[in-house]
Structure 1
C-alpha cells in the first residue's frame, strides 16, 4: 500500500501516464464531460470531496507548467480563484468557459468532485521535472 500521495488507483494511473504538455482536468459535479473523455467520478455527496482537496492531492504528485481556468471564475467565484492562486506558482491562462468544456475532449481524464460552486474547474498542463 502507498504511504502517501494519490491513493485512487485511476488517478494515480493517469498521473503516471502523463507526458510533457498532456492535460488532466478536475472539476465540479456539474461540468459536462465530453463522450470519449475518461471520467473519474469521486463525487460522494454535495461538497465531498471538495475541488480544492482533490486539486491539492493531485498536485502532490503531478508536475505542472501551466493551468487553464474559465474567465468567468474571476467574477463568479473569486474566493476559489484566490485559493488556486495561493496554491500554484505557474502561469494561469483564462479561457471562456465554453472553450474549457470543448478542451475537456483532449484531456487524459476528467476528475469529477462533489464541488457545488460555480466555475470550480481547472485544466492542468503537465510539465517536466528536469
Structure 2
C-alpha cells in the first residue's frame, strides 16, 4: 500500500504513464467529457472532493510545464484562478474559451471529475519533464 502521494490507483496509473507534453484534465462536476476520454469519477456529493484539493494531490507526483484554463474563469471564478496560480506560480498559463477547453478534453489521457460546483473549475495540465 502506498504511504503518500496519489492514493487513487486509476489516477496514479495515468500519471505514471504520461510522457513529456501529454495532457491530463481535472474538472468540476458539470464538465461534459467526450465519450472516448477516460473519466475518473471522484465526485461523492456537491463540493466533495474540491477541485483544488484534487489538483494539489495530482501535483505531488506530476511535473507540469503548462496549464490551460477557460478564459471565463477570470471573471466568473477569480478566487479559483487565484488558488490555481498560488499552487502553480511558475507555470505558463494559456486561457482559451470554455467551448475550446471542452473540445480539448478529447486529447487528454483522462479527465478527473471532482465534486466541485463553482463555475469554470477545469484545467488541462501539460506534463513536463523531470530531467
Report the TM range for the smaller structure's normalisation. Answer: over 0.9
Deviation at 1:31, TM superposition (A): 0.1
* Equivalent position SS for 2:20: coil
Runs of 4+ deviating beyond 2 Å: none
Superposed CA deviations along residues 84-112 of structure 1, whole A, max 9, x for unmatched, are 01110200110110000000001000000
Instruction: Please say if 1:43 is aligned against 2:13.
Output: no
User: Superposition pairs for residues 50-89 of structure 1, below 5 Å?
Assistant: 50-88=50-88, 89=90
Deviation at 1:76, TM superposition (A): 0.1
Provide the residue aligned with 1:95 in structure 2.
96
Distance in 2 between residues matched to 1:87 and 1:127, nearest whole Å = 16
Instruction: Please say if 1:10 is aligned against 2:46.
Output: no
Provide the residue aligned with 1:113 in structure 2.
114
Distance in 2 between residues matched to 1:59 and 1:74, nearest whole Å = 22
* Equivalent position SS for 2:95: strand
Distance in 1 between residues matched to 2:20 and 2:64, nearest whole Å = 9
| Root-mean-square deviation (Å) | 0.4
TM-score of the two chains, using structure 1 as the length reference:
0.99
Superposed CA deviations along residues 44-83 of structure 1, whole A, max 9, x for unmatched, are 0000000000000000000010000000000000000000
Unaligned runs of 5+ in 1: none
Instruction: Please say if 1:126 is aligned against 2:127.
Output: yes
Distance in 1 between residues matched to 2:43 and 2:125, nearest whole Å = 19
Kindly tell me the number of residue pairs found equivalent between the two proteins. 130
